[in-house]
């Protein structure tokens, strides 16, 4: 028993506390802490940095400590979501979470050298969802003794050929190829300096888990050719001799550019504290091209599929369109987009309810040296219709890398652009590396449009991609665009970025979903209710995500509010928020606080409601006099109310204002659209909203009044008019949609908390073409 008492005393003594009495967190606990909490209001495009200095690091003794015996701050990996610990067991009858038992049992040995590479951007045992991951790291302490050299990445179980990445003043970036499941990576630093060289290896291990996503729609990659295209692209003669300019080369370069888009976006989303979420690609089993060694050896890999699609137009017809962005009327600029859309639609043949996200490379783009125009090219993107499409030309393609080994050489190649063969796009592609920035970056800009992003005040959607090279290299060469020498070392703050508003859209986009996200809601709509005291109540079934604020004359959004208070992947957004005009104006600079104020409100389903003028919305036009000196408020109007012969309609429900009236049923008159609603009471009276058209006698929905069932609201299908309507009750019952269940878009009309239905207003022509709910306190 004495032995057990001694053990118990030792066990208690093993728990150390800080002077305040709080238990000191272990390294594992620290790695599981969430990043800094987001501010609710953003007026800047700079995301909260996830690469932050700490007072110490667990896997490296600082050089300054070696030199002086003191410890100085150096950077360590940012806090990320912890990996659940799963106990080892021989049983495998179930699968829990996303953690592999093998990954949780890996223990990384501590580096023995002060020059061992240290990964800053991705913490140990993190979970990611992409094949090519961007890493940022350091060698030693850059402030004490910056060093140059190279870092070699040895991939998990030699599943991918080792890659080498330059180190500039102790900073390096690397693109690592991951296999599904746990990946144990070794990073080895070498330098030509004798003071650094030694018999011991400057190496470190880093474990990263990869979970490929398959339950989100992919971004399809298409190379589009004319029906008689030779399948070649513009390139210098010596480049053609070295690597050819045929269709096979174009596919390899396009695939590598797409993986660079993905690596860049995944890292940006993490810096915006939205996890390592990103779009995925449809993949197929083919000869690998991400490594030049796989291509040479013919090794089969699962990599992004490139669809080769031909149009019914000839090369001459495409080039004769003369639709380069800087020439021709606007109607002709859209013509190539229509041709691409027709070809892609014919190729994929999506069903009416299926959405496809397609990025197109126009291979027959050509620099016409006579007219100084890029023919057969257009840079356009659209997120409307079933096929969301982005198109871009191939005039910069020769400068793209075709594999991971060529990424750094491509972004550091200072060869001048020879305009006898190649276009200097917008005067910003005067050298090969700048041409790669323009081609890869501007195409990504159009992909941003495809995902619903408008132009922004900064970032990729504002031509910030001229700095795209800094994301993948540690040093920048001379720039013909700025006529100056580039950065000696490219740090995270120097990089191109996605604007915060872009990241917010991606956070809720179906292509960026994570397994831990809440299920998507079928209703994307937003309802706005102006009520008393100048308040605006905003409700959305999928949650209110963010609000963009515009003043008179603003083409871009400079101020916005977001309602994401946690970086947890499955965190929800509020379904109801309250704002006032004065609160909104306080977010604006003094010179604009009295200007006309407009809003765009976005839901968690990326539905949008636009308010052109907040002052009009909250004016007397939105309020209605009710019986007994009460005041009612009109909600968002559905339908355009523009039908020939359309007349205003309004009813106040008798059952709300007369205690003896009991609503027993609602008759719905409809055909392929809503004609009218008749509210029937227990005393055999009724009220008609709209008219008795469509199906003779209509359809009747009866309430269970003996149990106290009452009308809760409506689910409405609406576009230019009211296509259909569904009755919702306090018991959770639904009538089903009367009318056209697939017409228009869906909108849930339920009064905000603290309010109830008072009546309906709208308009009716040949059928209902306007509808809004009147609410009261």
- Return d(Cα 562, Cα 172) in angstroms, integer: 34
Residue whose tokens read 């409809």: 670
Please, what is the end-to-end C-alpha distance for the chain in angstroms? 71
| Three-state secondary structure string covering 211-251 | CCCCCCCCEEEEEEECCCCCCCCCCCHHHHHHHCCCHHHHH
Tally of CB atoms within 10 A around 244: 13
| Position 279 in a domain | yes
| Position 495 in a domain | yes
Helix (H, G, I), strand (E, B) or coil at 503: helix
- Return d(Cα 538, Cα 716) in angstroms, integer: 17
- Return d(Cα 331, Cα 610) in angstroms, integer: 27
- Return d(Cα 60, Cα 62) in angstroms, integer: 6
DSSP per-residue letters across 151-213:
EEEEPGGG-S--EEEEEETTEEEEEEE--SEEEEEEEEEE-S-TTT--SS-EEEEEEEEE---
- Return d(Cα 78, Cα 96) in angstroms, integer: 26
Q: What is the pLDDT of residues 300-327, one digit of tens each?
A: 999 999 999 999 999 999 988 754 444 4
Boundary-marking domain end, from 469, 492, 510 = 510
Residue 109: per-residue pLDDT? 67
Residues 329, 295 within the same domain: yes
Which tokens sit at 123?
A: 């913490």
- Return d(Cα 174, Cα 163) in angstroms, integer: 9
Closest residue by Cα to residue 271 from 141, 175, 136: 136
Helix (H, G, I), strand (E, B) or coil at 575: coil
Residue 27: per-residue pLDDT? 37
Helix (H) or strand (E) holding 716, with range, is strand 711-718
All residues at 6 or more sequence positions from 587 whose CB lies less than 8 Å from its CB, including other chains: 41, 43, 549, 559, 561
| Position 581 in a domain | yes
| Position 46 in a domain | no
Closest residue by Cα to residue 345 from 312, 317, 314, 301: 312
| Position 9 in a domain | no
Residues 558, 577 within the same domain: yes
- Asked if 290 and 303 touch (Cβ cutoff 8 Å), the reply is yes
Cα atoms found within 13 Å of the Cα of residue 248, Cβ hemisphere only: 8
Boundary-marking domain end, from 564, 595, 617 = 617
Closest residue by Cα to residue 442 from 364, 361, 384: 361
- Return d(Cα 77, Cα 254) in angstroms, integer: 32
Residue 322: per-residue pLDDT? 54
Residues 174, 319 within the same domain: no
Residues 714, 642 within the same domain: yes
Residue 78: per-residue pLDDT? 58
DSSP assignment letter at 108: P
Tally of CB atoms within 10 A around 657: 15
Residues 769, 733 within the same domain: yes
Residues 571, 654 within the same domain: no
- Asked if 234 and 245 touch (Cβ cutoff 8 Å), the reply is yes
Residues 564, 502 within the same domain: no
- Sign of the CA dihedral running 51, 53, 54, 60: positive
Residue 571: per-residue pLDDT? 61
Helix (H, G, I), strand (E, B) or coil at 756: strand
Strand partners, 501: none
Query: 245-276 as b/e, with b when 16 or more CB fall inside 10 Å?
Result: bebebbbbbbbbbbbbbbbbbbbbbbbbbbbb
- Return d(Cα 106, Cα 85) in angstroms, integer: 11
Q: What is the pLDDT of residues 141-181, one digit of tens each?
A: 888 889 999 999 999 888 999 999 999 999 999 999 999 99
Distance of CA 553 to the CA centre of its chain: 27
Residues 233, 310 within the same domain: yes
Residues 587, 714 within the same domain: no
Residues 550, 602 within the same domain: yes
Tally of CB atoms within 10 A around 504: 23
Residue whose tokens read 């269709």: 247
Residue 105: per-residue pLDDT? 46
- Return d(Cα 417, Cα 419) in angstroms, integer: 6
Residue whose tokens read 């410890």: 71
Beta strands in 330-401 (DSSP E): 356-362, 366-368, 373-375, 380-382, 387-393
Looking at the structure of the chain, the number of domains it has is 4
Measured CA to CA in angstroms, residue 102 lies from 87, 88, 106, 183, 429 at distances of 10, 8, 7, 10, 48
Which tokens sit at 768?
A: 């209902």
- Asked if 488 and 189 touch (Cβ cutoff 8 Å), the reply is no
Measured CA to CA in angstroms, residue 237 lies from 234, 420, 773 at distances of 9, 11, 68
Residue 383: per-residue pLDDT? 81
Residue 90: per-residue pLDDT? 35
Residue 543 sits in which domain range? 518-617
Annotated catalytic residues are 446
Boundary-marking domain end, from 594, 617, 640 = 617
- Asked if 548 and 599 touch (Cβ cutoff 8 Å), the reply is yes
pTM (two decimals): 0.85
Measured CA to CA in angstroms, residue 16 lies from 22, 29, 59 at distances of 9, 14, 22
- Return d(Cα 636, Cα 425) in angstroms, integer: 46
All residues at 6 or more sequence positions from 125 whose CB lies less than 8 Å from its CB, including other chains: 83, 103, 104, 106, 207, 208, 209
Strand partners, 500: none
With a cut of 70, list the residues of the chain below it in pLDDT: 1-111, 194-195, 197-200, 322-333, 566-571, 620
197-204: list long-range contacts, CB under 8 Å, 24+ apart: 198/113, 200/112, 200/113, 201/113, 202/111, 202/113, 202/115, 202/116, 202/117, 202/139, 203/111, 203/113, 203/116, 203/117, 204/59, 204/108, 204/111, 204/116, 204/117, 204/118, 204/119
Residue whose tokens read 């960026």: 512
Residues 128, 257 within the same domain: no
| Position 13 in a domain | no
Closest residue by Cα to residue 528 from 431, 435, 608, 450: 608
Residue 143: per-residue pLDDT? 87
Which tokens sit at 35?
A: 């990043």
Helix (H) or strand (E) holding 270, with range, is helix 247-271
The CATH number linked to 747 is 2.100.10.30
- Return d(Cα 497, Cα 607) in angstroms, integer: 25
The CATH number linked to 136 is 2.60.40.10
Q: At 43, phi and psi to the nearest 5?
A: -125, 10
Residues 272, 225 within the same domain: yes
| Position 438 in a domain | yes
| Position 48 in a domain | no
192-199: list long-range contacts, CB under 8 Å, 24+ apart: 192/149, 193/147, 193/148, 193/149, 196/115, 196/147, 196/149, 198/113
């Amino acid at each position: 028993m004495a032995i057990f008492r001694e053990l118990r005393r030792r066990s208690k003594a093993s728990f150390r506390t800080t002077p305040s009495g709080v238990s000191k967190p272990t390294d594992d606990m620290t790695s599981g802490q969430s990043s800094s909490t987001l501010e609710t209001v953003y007026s800047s495009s700079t995301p909260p940095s996830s690469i932050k200095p700490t007072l110490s690091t667990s896997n490296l003794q600082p050089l300054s400590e070696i030199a002086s015996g003191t410890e100085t701050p150096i950077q360590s990996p940012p806090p990320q979501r912890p990996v659940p610990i799963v106990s080892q067991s021989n049983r495998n009858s179930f699968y829990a979470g996303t953690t592999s038992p093998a990954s949780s049992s890996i223990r990384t040995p501590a580096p023995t050298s002060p020059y061992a590479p240290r990964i800053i951007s991705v913490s140990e045992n993190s979970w990611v969802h992409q094949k090519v991951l961007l890493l940022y790291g350091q060698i030693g302490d850059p402030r004490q003794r910056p060093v140059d050299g190279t870092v070699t990445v040895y991939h998990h179980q030699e599943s991918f050929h080792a890659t080498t990445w330059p180190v500039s003043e102790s900073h390096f970036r690397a693109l690592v190829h991951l296999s599904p499941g746990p990946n144990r990576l070794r990073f080895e630093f070498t330098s030509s300096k004798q003071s650094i060289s030694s018999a011991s290896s400057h190496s470190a291990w880093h474990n990263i888990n990869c979970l490929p996503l398959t339950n989100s729609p992919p971004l399809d990659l298409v190379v589009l050719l004319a029906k008689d295209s030779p399948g070649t692209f513009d390139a210098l003669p010596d480049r053609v001799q070295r690597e050819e300019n045929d269709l096979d080369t174009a596919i390899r370069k396009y695939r590598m550019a797409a993986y660079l888009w993905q690596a860049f976006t995944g890292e940006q989303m993490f810096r915006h504290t939205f996890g390592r979420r990103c779009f995925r690609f449809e993949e197929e089993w083919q000869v690998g091209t991400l490594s030049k060694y796989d291509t040479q050896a013919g090794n089969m890999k699962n990599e992004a599929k490139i669809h080769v699609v031909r149009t019914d137009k000839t090369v001459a017809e495409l080039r004769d369109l003369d639709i380069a962005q800087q020439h021709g009327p606007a109607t002709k600029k859209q013509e190539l987009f229509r041709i691409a859309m027709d070809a892609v639609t014919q190729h994929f043949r999506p069903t009416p309810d299926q959405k496809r996200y397609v990025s197109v490379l126009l291979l027959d783009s050509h620099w016409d040296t006579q007219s100084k125009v890029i023919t057969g090219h257009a840079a356009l993107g659209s997120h409307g219709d079933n096929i969301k499409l982005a198109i871009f030309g191939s005039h910069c393609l020769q400068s793209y890398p075709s594999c991971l080994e060529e990424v750094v050489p491509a972004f550091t190649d200072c060869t001048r652009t020879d305009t006898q063969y190649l276009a200097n796009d917008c005067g910003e592609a005067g050298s090969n590396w700048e041409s790669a920035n323009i081609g890869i970056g501007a195409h990504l800009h159009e992909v941003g449009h495809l995902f619903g992003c408008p132009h922004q005040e900064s970032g990729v959607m504002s031509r910030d991609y001229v700095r795209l090279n800094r994301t993948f290299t540690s040093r920048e060469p001379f720039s013909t665009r700025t006529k100056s020498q580039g950065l000696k070392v490219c740090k995270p703050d120097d990089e191109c970025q996605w604007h915060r508003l872009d990241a917010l859209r991606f956070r809720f986009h179906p292509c960026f979903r994570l397994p831990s996200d809440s299920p998507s809601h079928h209703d994307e709509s937003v309802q706005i209710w102006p009520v008393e005291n100048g308040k605006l109540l905003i409700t959305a079934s999928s949650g209110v995500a963010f609000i963009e604020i515009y003043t008179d004359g603003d083409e871009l959004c400079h101020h916005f509010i977001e309602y994401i208070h946690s970086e947890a992947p499955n965190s929800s957004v509020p379904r109801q928020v309250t704002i006032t005009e004065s609160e909104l104006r306080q977010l604006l600079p003094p010179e604009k606080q009295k200007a006309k104020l407009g809003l765009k409100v976005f839901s968690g389903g990326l539905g949008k409601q636009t308010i052109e003028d907040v002052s009009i919305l909250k004016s007397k036009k939105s309020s209605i006099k009710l019986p007994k000196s009460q005041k009612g408020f009109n909600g968002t109007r559905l339908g355009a109310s523009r039908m020939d012969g359309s007349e205003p309609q309004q009813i106040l429900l008798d059952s709300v204002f007369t205690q003896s009236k009991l609503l027993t049923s609602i008759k719905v008159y409809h055909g392929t659209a809503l004609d009218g609603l008749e509210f029937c009471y227990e005393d055999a009276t009724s009220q008609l909203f709209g008219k008795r058209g469509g199906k003779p006698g209509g359809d009747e929905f009866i309430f269970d009044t003996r149990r106290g069932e009452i009308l809760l609201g409506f689910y409405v299908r609406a576009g230019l008019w009211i296509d259909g309507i569904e009755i919702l009750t306090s018991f959770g019952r639904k009538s089903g949609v009367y009318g056209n269940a697939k017409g228009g878009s869906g909108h849930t009309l339920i009064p905000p908390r603290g309010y109830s239905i008072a009546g309906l207003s709208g308009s009716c022509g040949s059928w209902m073409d306007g509808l809004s709910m009147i609410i009261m306190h």
